[in-house]
Chain A
Amino acid sequence: MNRHRDTAPAAEAVDHGRRRFLATGSLTVSFALVPGAAALAQRQTEDAAPTAAAGAARLPGNLSSTPLLDSWIRIDADGAITVYTGKAELGTGIRTAFIQIAAEELQVAPAAISLVTADTGLTPNEGYTAGSHSTADSGTAILNAAAQVRELLLASAAQKLGLEAGALEIRDGGVIAAPDGRTLDFGQAVEGLDLHRNAQPASRLVDPRRHKVIGTPMPRVDIPAKVAGGASYVQDMRLPGMLHARAVRAPSYGARLVSVDAASVEKLPGVVKVVRDGSYLAVAAEDEWQAIRAMRALTASAVWEETAVLPTPDTIYDTLLKLPAREIHVGERHGPADPAARTLHARFTKPYLAHGSIGPSCAVAHMEEGKLTVWTHAQGVFPLRGGLAEMLGMKPADIRCIHVPGAGCYGHNAADDVAADAALIARAVPGRPVRVQWMREQEHNCEPYGPAMITDVKASLDASGRVVDWQYEIWSNSHNQRIDNAGRLMPSNYLSTPFTPAPPKPIPMPEGGGDRNSLPLYNFANFNVQHHFLPDMPIRVSAHRGLGAFMNVFSIESFMDELAEAAGADPVEFRLRHLDDPRARDVIELTAKEFGWDPRRRRAPNRGVGFSFAQYKNLMSYMAIAVELEVVPETGDVHIERVVASVDTGQIVNPDGVRNQIEGGIIQSASWALYEQVRYDETRIRTYDWSTYPIMRFSDVPLKIDVHLIDRPGAPFLGAGEAAQGPTPAAIGNAIADATGRRLRDLPLAPRLRESYEA
């Protein structure tokens, strides 16, 4: 029996018998069971998962905040295995990876595992699926929970069979076998076994050398449906009586809806309701095309009073530099060093970047008898629930948010906003499910962007070509305006009683926000890093994949090349000169070798090679990348010919999954670095479609990408989702400098390259 619930948008019913810890709310009951637990706060990481309950701090991964084993694993009387994760499948393949992890430790076939992902009614609260924490924190929890459940099953079976647990083994098909031939299946073994107990700090994990599933390129369980039109996305949901809805968005931030002809739209065929609340405007209809036509009609008659004043695009960086800053001292080091022989200085800039999800955000909501269910591809169903509860004046317990995959979100896009739309409209048409789809222009125009940033670096070399001093500064808005309160849900800002977004809070290091990856991993004798955190946000911003890492690694790794050149050193050798961490050295050396990096190569006209390295957050995956490209001076076109990357993500669960993420991350961040910038003027955001926000198309995709993996069996999982976004842009910038002698420090690179030829 195929137990994969990978394509089931319809929600599993909450089993109150089993999941009794949810009786009065998921977290409060946990208090009672974990004596002395303090109020569960959120971890100060990007994923804001709950912090460890006292006494549970030593548990691996997110077991520390959700210590009960049956929060993670359920074995039914018929032997069916269900694994729960508070993380969501965003398209990175973690659904498959977690199935592999559970299958490995439970010693069953992957097909025997049903995985339930983020659902406030069913799963642990693991905060947001973000920051590459999924495998590291949830995967680790599942790894250990599964191992411990396995041992408990064996112990229970042993007791039933009157044997020692060590005499039993688990065979194919989840069968517990005794030497004398007697067998029990999991359903039989679990009888009388209460998994409603805390995990232990240590687990008997399967020896990595004997892994049968972890470390194998198991094909993703969700791909067959996606290539053949199976229902896979929240966009594919069809509930009985479901209405289609569209929101009508303000043309600029904070605009006031002065008037609109709702009456004639209400008479249009199929229109069920026009929802107007202050400046919030939406329409629901029986059919989707009717909803779109109604939206267009409302848009045509709507009169808005606009007051937004946006920064002048040509001077945005000057504007940001002058904003009031909250000073954050990120880190420093002092040590003896030889005197400085040469000092270099550079400033780098990054524009606002859009997430650019191919599928604009969508949500389905159903208000029935005072209870609300929302199907959403938001990254954090628990925080979303909290925000919706506040917005609607409801109790969180009366709201259930269920994650259903959408298109890739790459951070905080409009997924939470559209859930708010769906909730507001569902409230206006109780009893009928409502599906809200944002239009392309709404997604591009209204979503929160990755913030514009400025970095400034000054470093000195001694006479022997070693960096002796490094001063680094960052100016940036918050990279995390997630759902701390209802006001963070944009539709709530337009209600007649509007909600105000909670003030921005920086994410502290070691995770960081704008300062993520700003501490150099290199062994500089002296460094100082300062983050000028800018609370005023003239343009709506939030988390964009990798947060500050993209810009900080671009800056650091570009500047390392500038220093290497000043030192007369080869870029690869220069980096190795300053790195002790053997895992960092490994990826650098492997990339250089596989690329054929030749320190003595001659520079061919208009062709260049570039190198770059980073360890994500200085904590997670290591990646080194080399790029070879050609520049066409007459057009400023950049043709990336080949890319070689090596990555160390700790213990690899699914090597093909890692490769897919790294290849994808290389192309995605190459597009960010080469082409992307949000367009705006002093009154409105002007990016509204792909022509005003072009991204890389097939014509510009690299001709060849090779990813080499370094597996560390038994080591902690480090996460692959954001490993490539840091180092890739610098490798490209370094290769362009190698090809043309032009050092580009302002993103995006392609227009700057063209401009440099026109000068």
Chain B
Amino acid sequence: MVTLTVNGVKHDLDIDPSMPLLYALRNHLQLNGAKYGCGLGQCGACTVIVDGKPVFSCLTPVSSVGSRPVRTVEGLGTPQQPSPLQQAFIDKQAAQCGYCIAGMIMRAQALLDERPGATEAEIREHMQPNLCRCGTHMRIVSAIVAASQALPKRQADNDAPALAGASRQENQA
């Protein structure tokens, strides 16, 4: 039995401990955001946030997650009530086929959580692990910049209600 805390909710899943987190999210929790792009940690379409860090869920074994909180794009907001970052993507129409976008949003969210006023140069550097084939990069950067500028520092501290109560596991043996 594997226990995962996803978007603030604890789930007990009877799954193979060697299953990558991506498939647990998609097939056992019916979450669509994180996507299979390569399974090799090269494209970022599967990006989710684990314990505050953006990770490739395609290469993260469910047995390794433990009590570290997992956040997916569904935990940020809904199509009807998007989060500020999601709204920025909508405002900038930052998608063409859209397949890479959920991964982009989670990678960006991790940056904004750490550095709310990140500059465009920092954003471009941070987003390097994620690929977009349609060429939507300009709008993706523009959306993240807009969200970054709109996000005051104190709001970043309040911006993780789903994690209340979940403790941060130290990276220790």
Write out the residue numbers on chain A whose beta carbons fall within 8 Å of the beta carbon of B127.
Answer: 698
On whether A231 and B16 interact (CB within 8 A), knowing A359-B99, A667-B135, A695-B131, the answer reads: no
Interface stretch, picked from B49-57, B86-94, B149-157, B160-168, is: B86-94
Q: Are A228 and B37 in contact (CB under 8 A)?
A: no
On whether A230 and B32 interact (CB within 8 A), knowing A222-B98, A359-B37, A667-B137, the answer reads: yes
Q: Are B33 and A229 in contact (CB under 8 A)?
A: yes
Interface residue B76 (Cβ < 8 Å from any Cβ of A): yes
**Nearest residue, chain A, Cβ from B44:** A358
Q: Are A665 and B98 in contact (CB under 8 A)?
A: no
Write out the residue numbers on chain B whose beta carbons fall within 8 Å of the beta carbon of A671.
Answer: 135
Interface residue A91 (Cβ < 8 Å from any Cβ of B): yes
Q: Are B96 and A91 in contact (CB under 8 A)?
A: yes
Q: Are B135 and A232 in contact (CB under 8 A)?
A: no
Question: Complex: how many Å from CA A419 to CA B138?
Answer: 33
Interface residue B9 (Cβ < 8 Å from any Cβ of A): no
**Contact among A230, A440, A668 with B37 in the assembled complex (CB-CB below 8 Å):** A440
On whether A440 and B102 interact (CB within 8 A), knowing A227-B89, A358-B131, A664-B134, the answer reads: no
Question: Complex: how many Å from CA A271 to CA B124?
Answer: 43
Interface residue B105 (Cβ < 8 Å from any Cβ of A): yes
Q: Are B82 and A228 in contact (CB under 8 A)?
A: yes
Interface residues of A in 186-242 (CB under 8 A from B): 217, 219-220, 222-233, 235-236, 238
**Nearest residue, chain B, Cβ from A89:** B97
Q: A280-314 CB contact bits vs B (8 Å, 1 = yes)?
A: 00000001111000000000000000000000000
On whether A223 and B90 interact (CB within 8 A), knowing A289-B19, A407-B97, A668-B133, the answer reads: yes
Write out the residue numbers on chain A whose beta carbons fall within 8 Å of the beta carbon of B45.
Answer: 358-359
Q: B101-121 CB contact bits vs A (8 Å, 1 = yes)?
A: 110010000000000000000
Write out the residue numbers on chain B whose beta carbons fall within 8 Å of the beta carbon of A408.
Answer: 96-97, 99, 133-134
Write out the residue numbers on chain B whose beta carbons fall within 8 Å of the beta carbon of A437.
Answer: 36
Q: Are A689 and B42 in contact (CB under 8 A)?
A: yes
Interface residue A729 (Cβ < 8 Å from any Cβ of B): no
Q: A652-686 CB contact bits vs B (8 Å, 1 = yes)?
A: 00001100110111111001000000000000000
Closest beta carbon of chain B to A255's beta carbon, Å: 23
Interface residues of B in 43-81 (CB under 8 A from A): 43, 45, 72-74, 76-80
Q: Are B37 and A91 in contact (CB under 8 A)?
A: no
Q: A337-363 CB contact bits vs B (8 Å, 1 = yes)?
A: 000000000000000000011111000
Write out the residue numbers on chain B whose beta carbons fall within 8 Å of the beta carbon of A705.
Answer: 138
Write out the residue numbers on chain A whose beta carbons fall within 8 Å of the beta carbon of B4.
Answer: none
Interface residue A697 (Cβ < 8 Å from any Cβ of B): yes
Interface residue B8 (Cβ < 8 Å from any Cβ of A): no
Q: Are A235 and B101 in contact (CB under 8 A)?
A: no
On whether A690 and B38 interact (CB within 8 A), knowing A220-B93, A229-B32, A289-B16, the answer reads: yes
**Contact among B40, B89, B128, B132 with A689 in the assembled complex (CB-CB below 8 Å):** B40
Q: Are A690 and B90 in contact (CB under 8 A)?
A: no
Closest beta carbon of chain B to A449's beta carbon, Å: 15
Closest beta carbon of chain B to A424's beta carbon, Å: 21
**Nearest residue, chain A, Cβ from B82:** A228
Interface residues of A in 83-141 (CB under 8 A from B): 90-93
In this complex, how many residues of chain B approach chain A with their Cβ under 8 Å: the count is 58
On whether A439 and B138 interact (CB within 8 A), knowing A226-B102, A408-B99, A660-B93, the answer reads: no
Interface residue A152 (Cβ < 8 Å from any Cβ of B): no
Question: Complex: how many Å from CA A664 to CA B100?
Answer: 14
**Nearest residue, chain B, Cβ from A236:** B32
Interface residue B158 (Cβ < 8 Å from any Cβ of A): no
Interface residue A382 (Cβ < 8 Å from any Cβ of B): no
On whether A701 and B37 interact (CB within 8 A), knowing A91-B98, A227-B101, A229-B32, the answer reads: no
Interface residue A699 (Cβ < 8 Å from any Cβ of B): yes
Closest beta carbon of chain B to A635's beta carbon, Å: 17
Interface residue B27 (Cβ < 8 Å from any Cβ of A): yes
Write out the residue numbers on chain A whose beta carbons fall within 8 Å of the beta carbon of B39.
Answer: 439-440
Q: Are A690 and B32 in contact (CB under 8 A)?
A: no
**Nearest residue, chain B, Cβ from A230:** B79
Question: Complex: how many Å from CA A230 to CA B113?
Answer: 23
Interface residue A410 (Cβ < 8 Å from any Cβ of B): yes
Interface residue A650 (Cβ < 8 Å from any Cβ of B): no
**Nearest residue, chain B, Cβ from A228:** B79
Closest beta carbon of chain A to B145's beta carbon, Å: 13
Q: Are B43 and A358 in contact (CB under 8 A)?
A: yes
Q: Are A226 and B98 in contact (CB under 8 A)?
A: yes
Q: Are A664 and B131 in contact (CB under 8 A)?
A: no
**Nearest residue, chain A, Cβ from B62:** A289
On whether A223 and B99 interact (CB within 8 A), knowing A289-B16, A697-B131, the answer reads: no
Closest beta carbon of chain A to B1's beta carbon, Å: 15
**Contact among B23, B32, B133 with A358 in the assembled complex (CB-CB below 8 Å):** B133
Closest beta carbon of chain A to B163's beta carbon, Å: 18
Question: Complex: how many Å from CA A359 to CA B23?
Answer: 15
**Contact among A222, A235, A660 with B35 in the assembled complex (CB-CB below 8 Å):** A235
On whether A226 and B23 interact (CB within 8 A), knowing A356-B133, A359-B36, A360-B36, the answer reads: no
Interface residue A315 (Cβ < 8 Å from any Cβ of B): no
Q: Are A664 and B37 in contact (CB under 8 A)?
A: no
**Nearest residue, chain B, Cβ from A707:** B138
Write out the residue numbers on chain B whose beta carbons fall within 8 Å of the beta carbon of A290.
Answer: 16
Write out the residue numbers on chain B whose beta carbons fall within 8 Å of the beta carbon of A439.
Answer: 39
Q: Are A227 and B82 in contact (CB under 8 A)?
A: yes
Question: Complex: how many Å from CA A697 to CA B37?
Answer: 15
Q: Are A223 and B98 in contact (CB under 8 A)?
A: yes
Interface residue A512 (Cβ < 8 Å from any Cβ of B): no
Q: Are B95 and A223 in contact (CB under 8 A)?
A: yes
Query: Which of B18, B23, B102, B135 gathers the greatest number of chain A CB atoms within 10 Å?
Result: B135
Closest beta carbon of chain B to A58's beta carbon, Å: 35
Closest beta carbon of chain B to A333's beta carbon, Å: 36
Interface residue A264 (Cβ < 8 Å from any Cβ of B): no
Interface residue B136 (Cβ < 8 Å from any Cβ of A): yes
On whether A699 and B96 interact (CB within 8 A), knowing A228-B74, A228-B86, A663-B135, the answer reads: no
Interface residue A464 (Cβ < 8 Å from any Cβ of B): no
**Contact among A228, A358, A665 with B99 in the assembled complex (CB-CB below 8 Å):** A358
Closest beta carbon of chain A to B48's beta carbon, Å: 11
Interface residue A405 (Cβ < 8 Å from any Cβ of B): yes
Q: Are B93 and A701 in contact (CB under 8 A)?
A: no
**Contact among A228, A238, A668 with B134 in the assembled complex (CB-CB below 8 Å):** A668
Question: Complex: how many Å from CA A666 to CA B97?
Answer: 16
Write out the residue numbers on chain B whose beta carbons fall within 8 Å of the beta carbon of A664.
Answer: 96, 134-136
**Nearest residue, chain A, Cβ from B76:** A228
Q: Are A289 and B99 in contact (CB under 8 A)?
A: no
Q: Are B133 and A410 in contact (CB under 8 A)?
A: yes
Q: Are A699 and B125 in contact (CB under 8 A)?
A: yes
Question: Complex: how many Å from CA A408 to CA B38?
Answer: 15
Write out the residue numbers on chain B whose beta carbons fall within 8 Å of the beta carbon of A697.
Answer: 128, 131
Q: Are B93 and A665 in contact (CB under 8 A)?
A: no
Q: Are A663 and B138 in contact (CB under 8 A)?
A: yes
Write out the residue numbers on chain A whose beta carbons fall within 8 Å of the beta carbon of B131.
Answer: 358, 690, 695, 697
Interface residue B30 (Cβ < 8 Å from any Cβ of A): yes
On whether A701 and B137 interact (CB within 8 A), knowing A227-B95, A228-B73, the answer reads: yes
Query: Which of B19, B42, B86, B96 gathers the greatest number of chain A CB atoms within 10 Å?
Result: B96
Interface residues of A in 481-518 (CB under 8 A from B): none
Q: Are A227 and B90 in contact (CB under 8 A)?
A: yes
Q: Are B72 and A229 in contact (CB under 8 A)?
A: yes
Question: Complex: how many Å from CA A390 to CA B18?
Answer: 41
30 contacts between A and B (CB under 8 A): A90-B97, A91-B99, A223-B95, A226-B101, A227-B82, A227-B89, A228-B78, A228-B79, A229-B32, A235-B36, A238-B30, A269-B16, A288-B23, A289-B19, A356-B133, A358-B37, A358-B131, A407-B100, A408-B96, A408-B133, A440-B38, A440-B39, A440-B42, A660-B93, A664-B134, A668-B133, A689-B40, A689-B42, A691-B42, A698-B141
Give 10 closest A-B pairs by Cβ, nearest first: A91-B97, A667-B135, A664-B135, A226-B98, A229-B33, A408-B97, A407-B99, A224-B79, A440-B38, A229-B74
